[in-house]
A = this chain, B = another copy of it.
Amino acid sequence: MANFKGHALPGSFFLIVGLWWSIKYPFKYFHQKKKKDQLTRQYQRLEIIEAAIRLLFSIIGILAEQFVPDGPHLHLYNDDHWVKLMNWQHSTMYLFFAASGIIDMVTYLVTHVPLGVDRLVMAVAVLTEGLLFYYHVHNRPPLDQHIHFLLLYVLFAGAFSIFLEVILRDNIVLELFRTNLVILQGTWFWQIAFVLFPPFGTPAWDQKDDHNLMFITMCFCWHYLAALCIVATNYSLVYCLLTRLKRPKDGEIIGISKLKSDYTCQTALLNHSDEE
């Protein structure tokens, strides 16, 4: 769907996921300091619901791409030519996120699935999105190509960061980085929509002007910074909320979090020391 809606929709989707994560992970991080067993069970239920919703939306996405009026309606090859490959590619992307959703659910529901598999499949889903995008934008005008390439940096950084979580699970810094990149991806999709398919009758951008390329590169950095601010704000809000709700245990949270945070990264790597 190479139009405004086709970029604004996934943009909104990623934005919502990112905003949700920017609330979920700080919550989890502050809770981890306290009684563990009871809470982790709650978080597991949360993860399962999140994965189920991801799965649901991915299926809706696949069906939408296939059965929109000008979609391929599950026909792949017809009369010596491929049918609507663009829609098929988008379906494939959704398929991977659906697979990632299923694996996420299974990891928490079924006891014998090793943790880390969920992150691995998520990293592969993001890499796949990157791979399809990469071969997507060949033979396009410079600005179109460049604006999509910048997205690739987000995807590869994201895949790398998620892959690291296979080894360094529950590391809050990596989780916040991932959140940051998802929000960036969301806002950048909106930016692409506005640049390539200007709504409200604004004039089209000159796709070959070097100054436009320069501005877009810089604009991408601003989006990152905006995403960073959003994550930071939500992180603070969650902290304030938790502090207000649980006044009596207030000092305890701060005290522990500081004492422990000194070697947070190390304990993320060495969680076992907590269990001892």
- A162 within 8 Å of B by Cβ? no
B30 near A215 (CB under 8 angstroms)? no
- A114 within 8 Å of B by Cβ? yes
Stretch at the interface among A7-15, A82-90, A194-202: A82-90
Q: Could you show 6 A-B contacts with beta carbons less than 8 Å apart?
A: A29-B114, A85-B215, A85-B218, A103-B232, A263-B271, A263-B275
| Binary per-residue interface labels of chain A (122-143) against chain B in the complex, 1 for a CB within 8 Å, 0 otherwise | 0010001001100100110000
Q: Which residues of B contact A172 (CB under 8 A)?
A: 114, 116
Of the candidates B214, B224, B261, B264, the one whose C-beta lies within 8 Å of that of A85 is B214
- A177 within 8 Å of B by Cβ? yes
How long is the Cα–Cα vector from A257 to B29 in the complex, in angstroms?
Answer: 24
Report A91-110 residues with CB < 8 Å from chain B CB: 92, 95-96, 99, 103
- A273 within 8 Å of B by Cβ? yes
A114 near B221 (CB under 8 angstroms)? no
A114 near B261 (CB under 8 angstroms)? yes
Q: Which residues of B contact A217 (CB under 8 A)?
A: 89, 131-132, 135
How long is the Cα–Cα vector from A266 to B112 in the complex, in angstroms?
Answer: 17
B114 near A173 (CB under 8 angstroms)? yes
- A193 within 8 Å of B by Cβ? no
How long is the Cα–Cα vector from A90 to B49 in the complex, in angstroms?
Answer: 44
Q: Which residues of B contact A213 (CB under 8 A)?
A: 135
Q: Decide yes or no: A132 and B228 within 8 Å by CB, A173-B117, A176-B117 being known contacts.
A: no
A244 to chain B minimum Cβ distance, whole angstroms, is: 14
B254 near A263 (CB under 8 angstroms)? no
Of the candidates B88, B103, B214, B265, the one whose C-beta lies within 8 Å of that of A169 is B265
How long is the Cα–Cα vector from A219 to B188 in the complex, in angstroms?
Answer: 27
- A121 within 8 Å of B by Cβ? yes
Report A226-276 residues with CB < 8 Å from chain B CB: 228, 232, 235, 239, 253-254, 257-258, 261-267, 269-273, 275
A265 near B81 (CB under 8 angstroms)? no
- A16 within 8 Å of B by Cβ? no
A228 near B99 (CB under 8 angstroms)? yes
Instruction: A112-B254, A128-B224, A138-B210 given; name 14 further pairs at CB < 8 Å.
Output: A82-B212, A92-B221, A96-B225, A99-B228, A111-B257, A111-B261, A114-B172, A114-B176, A115-B261, A121-B228, A135-B213, A167-B269, A262-B271, A272-B273
